[in-house]
Amino acid sequence: MSERLIMHIDMDAFFAAIEQRDDPSLVGKPVIIGALPGKRGVVSTCSYEARVFGIHSAMPISEAFRRCPQGVYLKPNGPAIREASHLIVETLRGISPVVEPVSVDEAYVDISGLERLIGPPDVIGRLAKQRIREATRLSSSVGIGPNRLIAKLASDAHKPDGLTIIRADQVQAFLYPMPVENMRGVGKHSAESLKRRGIHTIATLRTWSEERLIAVFGDASGRMLYRQARGIWSDHVGEHESRKSISKEHTFNEDCCDPETLRQTMLELAADVARTARREGLTGRGIRLKLRLDGFETHTRSTTLAHPTNLDDVIFKEGWRLYSTSAFCSRPVRLIGIGIFDWSAPVQLDLFDKPNERKIRLAGAKDDIVARFGKSILGIKKAK
What are the catalytic residues?
A: 106
Q: If you ran DSSP here, which 8-state letter would residue 56 be given?
A: -
Positive or negative, the Cα torsion across 324, 327, 333, 338? negative
Interaction of residue 100 with Mg ion, rule CB under 5 A: no
| Nearer CB in complex with Mg ion: 133/227 | 133
Interface stretch with Mg ion, choices 99-107, 132-140, 214-222, 330-338 (CB under 5 A): 99-107
Interface stretch with Mg ion, choices 101-109, 130-138, 207-215, 330-338 (CB under 5 A): 101-109
Least spacing, CB of residue 304 vs Mg ion, in Å: 26
Closest by Cα among 184, 334, 331, 193 to 252: 334
139: helix, strand or coil: coil
Cis peptide before 160 (omega within 30 of 0): yes
- Supply φ then ψ for residue 49, to 5 degrees: -65, -30
Interface stretch with Mg ion, choices 103-111, 178-186, 214-222, 357-365 (CB under 5 A): 103-111
Least spacing, CB of residue 57 vs Mg ion, in Å: 9
DSSP string, 74-138: E---HHHHHHHHHHHHHHHHTT-S-EEEEETTEEEEE-TT-TTTT-SHHHHHHHHHHHHHHHHS-
| Nearer CB in complex with Mg ion: 11/270 | 11
Least spacing, CB of residue 168 vs Mg ion, in Å: 26
Interface stretch with Mg ion, choices 104-112, 119-127, 230-238, 256-264 (CB under 5 A): 104-112
| Nearer CB in complex with Mg ion: 105/318 | 105
Q: How many residues bind Mg ion (CB under 5 A)?
A: 4
| Nearer CB in complex with Mg ion: 15/226 | 15
x/- mask, Mg ion, residues 13-52, rule CB under 5 A, reads: -x--------------------------------------
CA distance 312 to 320: 12
Least spacing, CB of residue 308 vs Mg ion, in Å: 19
Interaction of residue 76 with Mg ion, rule CB under 5 A: no
Instruction: For the beta carbon of residue 249, count every other beta carbon within 10 angstroms.
Output: 16
Closest by Cα among 328, 340, 339 to 256: 328
Residues 295-334 that bind Mg ion (CB under 5 A): none
**Contacts (Cβ under 8 Å, ≥6 apart) of 295:** none
Interaction of residue 105 with Mg ion, rule CB under 5 A: yes
Least spacing, CB of residue 132 vs Mg ion, in Å: 12
CA distance 330 to 112: 58
| Nearer CB in complex with Mg ion: 11/111 | 11
Packed helices 259-279 and 354-373: angle between N→C axes, nearest 10 degrees: 90
Residues 1-20 that bind Mg ion (CB under 5 A): 10-11, 14
| Nearer CB in complex with Mg ion: 14/217 | 14
- Supply φ then ψ for residue 237, to 5 degrees: -120, 125
Least spacing, CB of residue 11 vs Mg ion, in Å: 5
Do 164 and 10 form a contact (C-beta atoms < 8 A)? no
Q: Give the binding site for Mg ion (CB under 5 A).
A: 10-11, 14, 105
